[in-house]
Amino acid sequence: MFVIHLLSRNFVFQTKASVNAVHLLFTSSQPVNLSHSFFQEYNGTHSGEAVKTKLGTIELLAPLITSKTRLKLLTRFFLNQSVDGYLQGLSKELDENTNSIRLELNRLEKAGLLASKTKGRRKLYSVNTSHPLTSDLTSIVRKVSGIDALVERVTANLPSLEQVWVCGDLAKGLPSEYIEAILIGAHLDRRYIKRLTDKAQSLTGKTITVKVEEETEPSGAIDGLLVWQKLGEQ
pLDDT digit string, tens, across residues 173-187: 998 999 999 999 999
Q: What is the pTM of this model?
A: 0.71
Q: What pLDDT is stored for residue 222 in this prediction?
A: 87
64 versus 126: the higher-pLDDT residue is 126
pLDDT of 192 over the 90 cut? yes
Domain 146-229: CATH superfamily is Beta Polymerase, domain 2 (3.30.460.10)
Kindly report, residue by residue over 39-67, the tens digit of the pLDDT: 333 333 334 444 444 455 455 555 566 67
User: 3-class SS at 77?
Assistant: helix
User: Which helix or strand (DSSP H or E) is residue 213 part of?
Assistant: strand 207-213
User: Looking at domain 68-127, which CATH architecture does it have?
Assistant: Orthogonal Bundle (1.10)
Domain ranges of the chain: 5-66, 68-127, 146-229
- Residue 11: exposure state from Cβ atoms within 10 A (0-12, 13-18, ≥19): middle
In whole angstroms, give the CA distance from residue 21 to residue 17: 8
- Residues 154-164 have a mean pLDDT of 95
Which DSSP category does 29 fall into?
S
